[in-house]
Amino acid sequence: MSGYEQWKQTNISAFSDFLFRQELLPNLFGKETPFILYWAGKELARKYPLATVDDVVAFFEQAGWGNLSLLEEKKDQCDLQLDGSLVAMRFDYGGECTFQLEAGFLAQQFEQQKGYVTEAFEQQKRRAKTVLFTVKWDRKDES
């Protein structure tokens, strides 16, 4: 049983996630926090490779990252939306919040699935309490 399979049935404390993301990591890494979280997301995706977009959606839910949905997929990019109560709580907290962990995770998952160098970009929609991700892969640059 993989590490992911072992943890799938475990409940995650939203408060614990909040403490790490909003309090501890920014205090440790300062303005480098988003860059470090993006890299960490890519590393997590390498450790937990997923075969399909549906698997990625399920992983987001299980990890407590929110409800991820695929909005549109084109030949060299896709758009996804992240929402849910935990996402809304992160926006409601005030202060800075970043979804770069999720962006890095998406970039690496799509890179592994598509076979091309891939990057992901977040766009926060604070009023709607959602995050839009644009994931782009370069069909001329195989990974």
Instruction: Give the least confident one: 18-22, 78-82, 98-102, 112-116.
Output: 18-22
Report the pLDDT value the prediction gives residue 1, as an integer from 0 to 100.
Answer: 43
Q: CB–CB of 64/17 below 8 Å?
A: yes
CA 36 to chain centre: 13
CA distance 32 to 27: 10
Q: Which of the four pLDDT bands, split at 50, 70 and 90, describes residue 20?
A: confident
Mean pLDDT over each residue of the chain, to the nearest integer: 90
Mean pLDDT in residue range 11-26: 79
Mean pLDDT across 31-59: 96
Any idea where the domains of the chain sit in the sequence? 13-142
13-142: CATH topology = Muramoyl-pentapeptide Carboxypeptidase; domain 2 (3.30.1380)
